[in-house]
Amino acid sequence: MKRQSGLAGYALRRVLLVVPLVLAVTIAVFLLTSLVPGGPVAALIGGHATNTAEVNAIRARYHLNESLVSQYLTWASQVLHGNLGRSIFSSETVASEIRSRLPVTLVLNGVGIFVALLVSVPLGSIAAARRGGLIDRVAVGVGVFLSSAPNFVMAIALVYLFGIRFNILPVEGLGSGLASEAQHLVLPCVVMAVAPLGFMTKIVRASMLEQLEMDYVAFARARGVGRWRLYRAYIVRNALIPIVTASGLLIVTSLTATVFVEDVFGIPGLGQLLVSSVTNSDIPVIQGLVLLVALWVIVANVAIDLVYVAIDPRVSFRRLR
Amino acid sequence: MIGGLALPVGRRTSRLRVPVTIVVSSVFILAVVVGAIAGPTFIHTSTSAPNPLSVGTMPSHAHLFGTDELGRDVFARLVAGTTTALTGPLIIAISGFAVSALVGVAAGYFGGALDAVTMRFVDFMFALPALLLAIVIVTVVQGGYWIAVLVLAVLNVQGDIRLVRGAALEQRNLVYVEAARVTGISRFSIMYRHIARNILPILLADFATDFAGALVALAGLAFLGLGAEPGTPDWGLMLTEGQTVLFENPFAALAPGIAIVLLAVSVNLIGDWLYERRASAIGGR
C-alpha cells in the first residue's frame, strides 16, 4: 500500500473524477429544453409559438439553428459567466432569482441537519448502550415513526396545531426583521429536522449495536478497559463511519425536504422557486436550479469521501473508485 | 463467522410470537386493501359531486370526516383514494423486487466485472436526489400519475440492488452453495432457486421499504400537483386541496395525511420486523 502518497493523491484523484461528472450534468441540463413537448422554442418562451417570424427570431437569438455541440458550447460559456438566462415568468435573471432565495434555504437545511444530529446521535447511542430499555424503545419508535412520516404531512399538522389550534407561532411567510424571521422559521426548521432525526437515530443505533457485538469489545472489556474509554476510543470511532456516510446523504435528502417545507409555510426560498417554476413550466429557472442542485450534490459527495479518509485511513484507499 | 453454519431461514416453529405492533399494522393494511377492493360497492356517497351548501363542515353523522373545500365527503374520498395509494407503490415495489432479485443476486454471486459495473451504477444513482429529479422530470415531460410511477420505479432500484447484492455475496461462500456447486447444479439454478430463496426475507423487507417510500414520494408529487389529475380522490392531492379549509375542517387535510403516515409506518414496521427476524435466525447482528 502506498500510504505515503495516500492522502494528497487520493484527494487529487477524487477531485479529478468530478470533471467528467460535471460535464455529464451540464450536458443533461442543457438537453432538458429538448425534452419539453414542443422543443427548445416552446421551453424558452413558455408555450407554443404560432407566429413563424417569432419562432425564427428566437431560433436565431438562441443559436438554435447551429449544431447541438456549438449550441452547448455557447450555453456553457454563458453559464460560466454566471448567465443562466431569464425567467419566462418574472423576467428577472435566473441568477438573481437564485441569489436572493439561497440564504433562507441554506438556513433551513443547516439548522434542520444540525438539530437532527444533535438529538439523534446521543439518542441512538444511549439506545444501543442500553438495549431493550425504555430509551431504546423510545428510540426505535422515534426512528420508525419520524422517518416514515412525510414532511408535508408533518408540516400541515404543525400548521394546524400551532397556527390554528393554539395560535402561538406564525405559519406563513418570513415576516420582517431578525426576531420575526427567527420566529417564522421555528416550525419550518422543526419539520426539516424531523425526518433526518428519525433516520439518523436508526442508523446511529444500528451501527453502535454492530460495534458492541464485535469481539474486540469483549476483549477490551476483559482486559479491563474503562467503560468511558471503551466508548470514546474504540466503539465511537468505528461506529462513526456509517454515521458519517448517512449524514452525507442528509445533505442531499434535506434539499428535497425544503421544497415541501417552503411550499407549506410559504417561505420564499429555492424550494418555492422550484415549485413556482414547475407550475409555470419556467424551464430556464428549472435548468438553473437543477444545475445548482447537481453541483451541490457532487460537492457534497466529494466532501463526504474526503471526510471518510480523515476518519478512517484504513479503508479509504481501497474504496477509491 | 457463525454464517458458515447458517440454517435455511424460514424456521417458523421456533418463532411463533408475533409482536402486537405487527398485528395492528397488518390489520390496518388489510383494511386499506379491503377499502380499495370493496369500497365502491359499499360507499355510495359521491366522491366528485360538489355541494356548495356544505363546504368545509366539521365531522358529523352524515359526513364521518366532514366535507372538503368543495363540499365533498372526505371519508368517501379517503376510501376511494386507497386505489391510487396502493397501485403506484405496488408497481414500484414489484419492479424493485424483480430488478434486485435478477441483477443484485447475479452481481453478488458472480462478482468481477458485472459486480463492478453494477456497483458503480448504484453509487452514481445514490448520489442523485431522487425525488427532486422526479419533480423535474415529471414537470418537463408534462406527465401525470403514470409518468411519476415510471420515474420513481427507475430511481428506486439502486437501494434494492445494493442490499440484495450484499446478501447474495454473503451467501455465496456458505457451505450449501459450495455443496450445490459440487453436485453440478447449474449456476442459474443456484442463484435463482437456492440463493434467492434463502435471502427471500431480505427481498420482502426491501419490498416493504420500497412500498412505503414510493407511497410517500407519490403523495409528495401529487401534493405539488405532479401526480393524479386534479379532482381525482388521491391522498396527496386531498392534502393540498384540504389545506384551504384547514381552519373550518382540519380533517379534510389531516385525514389523508394521517392515512399516508399510518400506511407508511405499518408497512415499514412489517419490513423492519421481517429483516430483524431473518438476522436473528441467522445469528448475525
- Domain residue ranges in chain A: 2-80, 102-268
Look at residue B81 and tell me if it is in a domain: yes
What whole-number distance in Å separates Cα of residue A244 and Cα of residue B280?
Answer: 26
CB B126 within 8 A of CB B143: no
Q: Does B268 touch chain A (CB under 8 A)?
A: yes
Look at residue B198 and tell me if it is in a domain: yes
**Under 8 Å CB-to-CB from A113, ≥6 apart: which residues?**
A192, A193, A196, A247, A250, A251, A254
Quote the number of domains for chain B. Answer: 1
CB within 8 Å of chain B, chain A residues 31-70: 32, 35-37
Look at residue B8 and tell me if it is in a domain: no
User: What pLDDT sits at residue B57?
Assistant: 72
Look at residue B152 and tell me if it is in a domain: yes
Count CB atoms within 10 A of the CB of residue A107: 18
User: What pLDDT sits at residue A192?
Assistant: 92
Tell me the residue type at A118. Answer: L
CB B223 within 8 A of CB A152: yes
Report, in this order, helix, strand and coil percent for chain A, each rounded to 5: 80, 0, 20
Q: Does A18 touch chain B (CB under 8 A)?
A: no
Q: Any alpha helices (H) in B64-199, and if so which ranges?
A: 74-80, 82-99, 105-110, 112-126, 130-140, 145-172, 175-183, 187-189, 196-198
Q: Looking at the complex, report in whole angstroms how far the Cα of residue B220 sits from the nearest Cα belonging to chain A.
A: 7
Look at residue B247 and tell me if it is in a domain: yes
Q: Does B122 touch chain A (CB under 8 A)?
A: no
Whose CA is closest to B250, among A104, A159, A279, A70?
A: A159
Binned average pLDDT, 10 residues per bin, chain A of 321 residues? 58 78 82 72 65 75 75 83 79 86 91 92 88 86 84 89 80 75 86 90 88 84 83 80 82 86 90 85 83 84 77 55 40
Q: What is the pLDDT of residues B241-285, one digit of tens each?
A: 888 887 778 888 888 999 999 999 899 888 888 887 776 665 443
Q: Looking at the complex, report in whole angstroms how far the Cα of residue B261 sits from the nearest Cα belonging to chain A.
A: 5
Q: What is the pLDDT of residues B113-132, one digit of tens each?
A: 888 888 888 877 776 777 87
Look at residue B159 and tell me if it is in a domain: yes
Closest Cβ opposite residue A293 in set B132, B220, B226: B132
Q: Which residue of B has its CA nearest to A157?
A: B254
Residue numbers in chain B where pLDDT is lower than 50: 1-7, 10-13, 283-285
Helix (H, G, I), strand (E, B), or coil: what is residue A128? helix
Q: Does B180 touch chain A (CB under 8 A)?
A: no
Which class for A58: exposed (0-12), middle (13-18), buried (19 or more C-beta within 10 A)?
Answer: middle
Query: All 3 cell numbers of residue A278?
Result: 414547475
User: What pLDDT sits at residue A316?
Assistant: 46
User: What pLDDT sits at residue B166?
Assistant: 82
CA distances from A202 to A229, B127, B262 (A): 24, 21, 19
A169 DSSP 8-state letter: S
Structural domain containing residue B247: 64-283
Look at residue B10 and tell me if it is in a domain: no
What whole-number distance in Å separates Cα of residue A276 and Cα of residue A270?
Answer: 10
Closest Cβ opposite residue A159 in set B120, B246, B272: B246
The pTM of the full predicted model, rounded to 2 decimals, is 0.80
What whole-number distance in Å separates Cα of residue A209 and Cα of residue A181?
Answer: 41
Round the average pLDDT of chain B to a whole number and report it: 80
Chain B positions in Cβ-Cβ contact with residue A301 (cut-off 8 Å): 127
Look at residue B169 and tell me if it is in a domain: yes
Domain of B195, CATH number, reads: 1.10.3720.10
Grid look-up 407549506 returns A264
Fold of A102-268: MetI-like fold (1.10.3720)
